């Protein structure tokens, strides 16, 4: 310390001696804190900064307004666990080993938190984890077990299982703020704050039961899609709103219906049991509040059960009510964390990122869930605020990927980015100096098949204008979309004579990307 202060004193003397005509010194910025906020399955269409027709999210919008919004932010494999592994490693799924939700993350590999911890950061993780192995590289971690429930979760804190009472979205925020309060203030922090919400099965918190109402949300243009021009992959999935469970998804109770229509199962079927398991978790007070909130929609359903297309639309409305209520809690809690940064004076030197592990279908193509390389699930929200270095009010078209997060944070922290990370630091874009050679195309690959929702394996390339997808494994089918003319992706042009030049060019780009990313045939 003595040496350092003498050195700074000498520097000041030297500087004063020759500073008469020089610019005033600019102090180097201290290393930034990092607050990485990631939710689960939050579609851009449910964020008002992205022009939502469904909900207002003032706190997420605030991050965008005071920083930068990415209009083209994409996930490289649209499913929960793989997306998290990409974020931690800066590598695609085929290299980090988590291809689908069934695999265990190898925590011995190099990760963002480990590199930041070695560089002197306090590293912490609170909330959803979903990678099966215990977290590594964190000074403190407290995570939900697997998906975790919406109410009264068990969590694993540094290896010990603890029980909590309350609404999970609120609790994860309480624990995050407690962790930040208790941290060593002499170290910069990297706080990874990850919500379960708004993942299926979308259970609202007590504050937002007013979403459970007869308010009508607009149906997306493609709600009644018939998949006419597309491959069997689009037709044969199992993620239609039409097939949602009355019990588990839509919160009707046995007695409100005779059979849960998707399975044809009677009371006691699997989805009914799943729902009963969630319902059993409530404390008596929570249960009373829940029952009161759902009483009217349940009675209306019992007394006047819709059928056919009316039932599908009823399911969509019911789904939107619960999904958006879950989002409202997320947004409120983000407001709490932003207020904490303001009150501690840490806001200026903290990079705040809001994103989701991928996008989600809110009725587009008649679907819920994710997985496909189509736009609603390929896109993920990305807004970033860092008042010390990022100008407010920016909007960028530059393509960002979740594989870029680790390199970006390392860059800002002054840590060397390992050569084998495949993403690229977003720092120049954040600082309003997008390089001329920034990527114009991205590679995507999805592997979980056979599996939940029956989405076939596929890979593809998305450029600024086009998207080429190859479904493989038990199928060999290609799809091409001209996003400028067909943003809803309902017109597959792969066989169209006028587009054969485009197809050839995209196949070349795809081969180049697969080679540079070291994708091997499986
Ligand atoms: Ca997810």
Distance 7 CA to ligand 1 centre (A): 51
Distance 343 CA to ligand 1 centre (A): 32
Distance 374 CA to ligand 1 centre (A): 15
Residue 25 is predicted with a pLDDT of: 63
Residue 13 pLDDT > 50 = no
Residue 515 pLDDT > 70 = yes
Question: Once rounded to an integer, what is the mean pLDDT over residues 206-228?
Answer: 97
Residue 164 pLDDT > 90 = yes
Query: If we measure between CA atoms, which residue out of 63, 87, 82 comes closest to residue 353?
Result: 63
Q: How confident is the model at residue 264 (pLDDT cuts 50, 70, 90)?
A: low
Name the E strands within 472-521: 477-482
Interior angle at CA 208, CA 376 and CA 45, nearest 5 = 15
Distance 388 CA to ligand 1 centre (A): 31
Distance 447 CA to ligand 1 centre (A): 15
Residue 376 is predicted with a pLDDT of: 98
Residue 19 pLDDT > 60 = no
Q: What percent of the chain has pLDDT over 90?
A: 90
Q: What is the mean pLDDT of the chain?
A: 94
Query: If we measure between CA atoms, which residue out of 325, 324, 334, 384 comes closest to residue 360?
Result: 324
Residue 279 pLDDT > 90 = yes
Q: How confident is the model at residue 259 (pLDDT cuts 50, 70, 90)?
A: confident
Q: How far apart are CA 404 and CA 112, in angstroms?
A: 11
Residue 272 is predicted with a pLDDT of: 87
Q: How confident is the model at residue 7 (pLDDT cuts 50, 70, 90)?
A: very low
Residue 25 burial (C-beta neighbours within 10 Å; 0-12, 13-18, 19+)? exposed
Number of H helices, E strands in the chain: 14, 16
Distance 230 CA to ligand 1 centre (A): 25
Distance 196 CA to ligand 1 centre (A): 9
Q: How confident is the model at residue 267 (pLDDT cuts 50, 70, 90)?
A: low
In this predicted model, which residue has the larger pLDDT, 260 or 127?
127
Q: The tokens of 2 are what?
A: 């003595």
Distance 434 CA to ligand 1 centre (A): 29
Distance 115 CA to ligand 1 centre (A): 25
Distance 361 CA to ligand 1 centre (A): 11
Question: Once rounded to an integer, what is the mean pLDDT over residues 74-101?
Answer: 98
**305, containing H or E segment:** none
Residue 374 pLDDT > 90 = yes
Residue 395 is predicted with a pLDDT of: 98
33-202+321-429 topology per CATH: Alkaline Phosphatase, subunit A (3.40.720)
Q: The tokens of 133 are what?
A: 């192995």
Residue 26 is predicted with a pLDDT of: 67
Q: How confident is the model at residue 513 (pLDDT cuts 50, 70, 90)?
A: very high
pTM: 0.94
Q: How confident is the model at residue 344 (pLDDT cuts 50, 70, 90)?
A: very high
Distance 81 CA to ligand 1 centre (A): 7
Distance 12 CA to ligand 1 centre (A): 52
Query: Which of 2-6, 17-21, 194-198 is most confident?
Result: 194-198
Distance 370 CA to ligand 1 centre (A): 8
Distance 424 CA to ligand 1 centre (A): 23
Residue 18 is predicted with a pLDDT of: 42
Distance 74 CA to ligand 1 centre (A): 13
Residue 31 is predicted with a pLDDT of: 97
Distance 496 CA to ligand 1 centre (A): 34
Question: Once rounded to an integer, what is the mean pLDDT over residues 473-495?
Answer: 98
Distance 357 CA to ligand 1 centre (A): 5
Question: Once rounded to an integer, what is the mean pLDDT over residues 247-276?
Answer: 79
pLDDT digits (tens, 9 = 90+) for 288-312: 999 999 999 999 999 999 999 999 9
Residue 12 pLDDT > 60 = no
Distance 336 CA to ligand 1 centre (A): 23
Would you give the end-to-end CA distance of the chain in angstroms? 56
Residue 521 is predicted with a pLDDT of: 79
Residue 4 pLDDT > 70 = no
Distances (CA, A) of 234 to 188, 240, 312, 477: 47, 11, 19, 11
Max Cα distance, the chain (Å): 88
Distance 381 CA to ligand 1 centre (A): 12
Distance 147 CA to ligand 1 centre (A): 10
pLDDT digits (tens, 9 = 90+) for 20-61: 445 666 677 799 999 999 999 999 999 999 999 999 999 999
Residue 474 pLDDT > 60 = yes
Question: Once rounded to an integer, what is the mean pLDDT over residues 493-516?
Answer: 98
Distance 40 CA to ligand 1 centre (A): 4
Distance 425 CA to ligand 1 centre (A): 23
Contact 433, 390 (CB under 8 A): no
Domain residue limits, the chain: 33-202+321-429, 237-319
Question: Once rounded to an integer, what is the mean pLDDT over residues 152-179?
Answer: 98
Q: How confident is the model at residue 262 (pLDDT cuts 50, 70, 90)?
A: low
Sequence-ordered list of residues with C-beta below 8 angstroms from that of 68, at least 6 positions apart, any chain = 383, 384, 385, 390, 391, 394, 395, 396, 429, 430
Distance 73 CA to ligand 1 centre (A): 15
Distance 46 CA to ligand 1 centre (A): 15
Question: Once rounded to an integer, what is the mean pLDDT over residues 211-238?
Answer: 96
Distance 174 CA to ligand 1 centre (A): 22
Beta bridge partners of 479: 469
Distance 37 CA to ligand 1 centre (A): 14
Rounded to the nearest 10°, the torsion over CA 332, 336, 342, 343 is 150
Distance 356 CA to ligand 1 centre (A): 7
Distance 206 CA to ligand 1 centre (A): 23
Distance 239 CA to ligand 1 centre (A): 14
Distance 307 CA to ligand 1 centre (A): 31
Distance 79 CA to ligand 1 centre (A): 5
């Amino acid at each position: 310390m003595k040496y350092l202060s003498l050195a700074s004193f000498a520097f000041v003397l030297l500087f004063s001696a020759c500073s008469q005509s020089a610019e005033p010194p600019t102090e180097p910025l201290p290393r930034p804190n990092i607050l990485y906020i990631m939710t689960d399955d939050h579609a851009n269409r449910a964020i008002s900064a992205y022009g939502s027709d469904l909900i207002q999210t003032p706190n997420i919008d605030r991050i965008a307004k005071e920083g930068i919004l990415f209009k083209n932010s994409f996930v490289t494999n649209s499913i929960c666990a793989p997306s998290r592994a990409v974020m931690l490693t800066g590598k695609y799924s085929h290299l980090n080993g988590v291809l689908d939700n069934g695999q265990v993350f190898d925590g011995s590999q190099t990760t963002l938190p480990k590199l930041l911890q070695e560089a002197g950061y306090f590293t912490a993780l609170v909330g959803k984890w979903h990678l099966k192995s215990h977290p590594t590289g964190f000074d403190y971690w407290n995570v939900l077990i697997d998906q975790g429930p919406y109410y009264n979760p068990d969590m694993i804190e540094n290896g010990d299982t603890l029980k909590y009472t309350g609404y999970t979205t609120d609790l994860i925020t309480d624990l995050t703020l407690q962790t930040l309060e208790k941290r060593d203030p002499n170290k910069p922090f990297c706080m990874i704050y990850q919500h379960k919400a708004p993942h299926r099965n979308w259970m609202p918190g007590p504050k937002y039961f007013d979403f459970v109402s007869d308010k009508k949300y607009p149906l997306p243009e493609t709600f009644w899609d018939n998949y006419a021009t597309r491959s069997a992959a689009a037709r044969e999935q199992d993620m239609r709103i039409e097939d949602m469970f009355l019990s588990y998804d839509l919160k009707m109770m046995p007695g409100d219906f005779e059979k849960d229509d998707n399975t044809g199962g009677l009371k006691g079927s699997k989805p009914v049991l799943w729902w009963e398991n969630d319902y059993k978790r409530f404390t008596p007070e929570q249960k009373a509040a829940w029952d009161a909130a759902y009483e009217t929609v349940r009675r209306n359903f019992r007394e006047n059960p819709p059928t056919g297309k009316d039932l599908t639309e009823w399911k969509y409305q019911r789904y939107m009510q619960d999904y958006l209520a879950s989002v409202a809690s997320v947004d409120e809690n983000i407001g709490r964390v932003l207020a904490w940064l303001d009150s501690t004076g840490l806001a200026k030197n903290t990079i705040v990122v809001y994103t989701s592990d991928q996008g989600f279908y809110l009725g587009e193509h008649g679907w819920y869930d994710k997985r496909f390389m189509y736009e609603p699930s390929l896109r993920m929200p990305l807004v970033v605020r860092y008042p010390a270095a990022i100008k407010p009010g920016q909007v960028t078209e530059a393509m960002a990927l979740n594989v870029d997060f680790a390199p970006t944070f390392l860059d800002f922290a002054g840590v060397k980015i390992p050569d084998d990370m495949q993403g690229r630091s977003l720092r120049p874009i954040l600082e309003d100096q997008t390089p001329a050679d920034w990527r114009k195309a991205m590679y995507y690959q999805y592997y979980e098949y056979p599996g939940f929702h029956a989405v076939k394996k596929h890979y593809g390339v998305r450029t600024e204008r086009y998207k080429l997808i190859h479904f493989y494994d038990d199928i060999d089918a290609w799809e091409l979309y001209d996003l400028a003319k067909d943003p809803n992706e309902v017109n597959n042009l792969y066989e169209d004579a006028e587009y054969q030049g485009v197809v050839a060019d995209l196949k070349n780009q795809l081969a180049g990307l697969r080679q540079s990313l070291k994708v091997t045939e499986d």
